[in-house]
Amino acid sequence: MSKPRRHAPEQLGASFTAILDGLHIEREFSPEVESLATTRAKSGPLASAGQFADRTDLVLCSIDPEGSRDLDQALAISRVGSGFLFNYAIADLGAWIEPGDAIDLAIQSRGATVYCPDQRVPLHPTSLSEGAASLLEGQVRPALLWSIRLDGRGEITDIDIERAMVRNSRQLSYNEVQAALDSGSTDTTFRLIEEVGVLRKEREIARGGVSLALPEQIVDQTPSGFELRYDRSLAIENHNAQLSLCCGMAAAEVMTSVGFGVLRTLPKPEPQTLEQLRRSSLALGVDWPNDMGYPEWTRTLDPATSKGAALLTQAARTLRGADYLCFEGDLPEEHQHHAIAAPYAHVTAPLRRLVDRYGNECVLAAKHNQSIPDWVHAEFEHLPDTMRAASQLASKVERGIIDLVESAVLLNQLGEEFDATITAVGQRFSVIQLIDPAVVATVEGSRKLGEHIRVKLVEVKLNPPILRFESAM
């Protein structure tokens, strides 16, 4: 395998900032907002948030990427009879933000945290998001504490939520938990996360859910520079994601039962899109039995093969159109998240995503037989637009960064040849996925989907980022 190609962080760091500035992203909060957040962080939870139960008896842990400071969740899981009790503590922003105050107004214009390899533009001031509101190890924090009971098959049987003071006993990284599991650790929490994660995955398959094993381009900051790689999730990341999905599905179940809330939606794939995918499968000689559904078939595809990678890339185009739905009263027919194959809501990341704060407040009101808080209801009209804009902005930042790093890692490789796979075809251009480095680009000409080819880099520029490949003869 060739040596990873890197570029100096100090050179690219300024370019990352230029991307943010070019999209008019405010990287700093006003002095007024920072001052108020600092004061709140020092003075403790707001009295207006109400009473917090003392649940510092729960032995919670968090699992996040290495070095994370904005910790949204901490969990505890135990076996109860033939089933499980899953406790999910989620950072409670209602303990720190008054509706309509300077912090609230500032975050309404942001919608979500924006990430760069060397920096982040946080949704909330860091005195809250990486300080007082974050579920940091050893700290007593206000949280929205979910209690979700599961039966022996991993199905949800009971849901509750309360405001509580909790303590995160262990802040862990995905790598160290995975290493512990791989070494045969008998840590009960780790083993139960694994067990319940597997059960929830089985339930997803039974529902007809779709989760594509398609590696994503990731930019990592390393001591020697920035590196592009294809992300392949650790098993513990997938198990942990299933627990987060479980909480989101529990939230949606409560919301739909009471007739108000904020759902995350995804429409059904268009029939013509599925038909095109089936034709591609036939053209590549990849079996897709007539009696096998789309979700089941995607799980047979191997992303490590050129044909599997090409078909998974095409399959990803069927999962487009995700949106948010604020509702009160009757639900519209299209209210499900069809990749999850069930109603679903975002509630597990309020430090990084604005909508999650509103979702938690809806569930809290519902479970305590209360109406929607006025300040929550007032945002129903605007919240989907806010989150849609935030998502589009994050996508532009991500694409700009990847384009820049792709050009940077190949800047000194002009004239070199690379192995590539055709992952999408058009009349004039075809999309190629390089194996090393982790670059996605285009090459002139219509090719065969899934074809393995050699390409030559014939043009590369950094400002603006340009990559041009030709077929190597």
**Per-residue model confidence (pLDDT) at position 436:** 83
Residue in 71, 260, 82 with CA at minimum distance from that of residue 171 = 71
Token pair for 184? 């045969």
- Contact yes or no for 264/346 (Cβ under 8 A): yes
Would you list the domain boundaries of the chain?
A: 9-267+321-407
Token pair for 402? 């990847």
Highest mean pLDDT among 105-119, 212-226, 441-455: 105-119
- Our measurement of the distance from residue 444's CA atom to the centroid of its chain's CA atoms, rounded to an integer in Å, reads 33
**Per-residue model confidence (pLDDT) at position 4:** 46
**Rounded distance, CA 296 to CA 301, Å?**
10
The stretch 226-253 carries a mean pLDDT of 94
**Per-residue model confidence (pLDDT) at position 213:** 83
**Rounded distance, CA 371 to CA 377, Å?**
10
pLDDT > 50? residue 2: no
b/e 210-229 (16+ beta carbons within 10 angstroms → b): bbbbbbebebebeeebbbbe
- Contact yes or no for 455/420 (Cβ under 8 A): yes
pLDDT digits (tens, 9 = 90+) for 143-192: 999 999 999 999 999 999 999 999 999 999 999 999 999 999 999 999 99
For 107, the enclosing helix (H) or strand (E) is helix 102-108
Residue in 294, 313, 286, 319 with CA at minimum distance from that of residue 422 = 313
**Rounded distance, CA 88 to CA 241, Å?**
13
Token pair for 283? 């053209």
- Lookup result for tokens 């300077």: 102
**Per-residue model confidence (pLDDT) at position 1:** 36
pLDDT digits (tens, 9 = 90+) for 19-46: 999 999 999 999 999 999 999 999 999 9
**Rounded distance, CA 6 to CA 111, Å?**
32
C-alpha count within 13 angstroms, C-beta hemisphere, residue 2: 16
The stretch 83-88 carries a mean pLDDT of 98
pLDDT digits (tens, 9 = 90+) for 309-342: 889 988 998 899 999 999 999 998 899 999 999 9
pTM of the predicted protein model: 0.94
**Per-residue model confidence (pLDDT) at position 304:** 82
Q: What's 373's DSSP letter?
A: P
Q: Please state which of the ranges 55-64, 102-111, 225-234 shows the lowest mean pLDDT.
A: 225-234
pLDDT digits (tens, 9 = 90+) for 89-143: 999 999 999 999 999 999 999 999 999 998 999 999 999 999 999 999 999 999 9
pLDDT > 50? residue 199: yes
**Rounded distance, CA 415 to CA 455, Å?**
10
Residue in 440, 234, 229, 208 with CA at minimum distance from that of residue 339 = 208
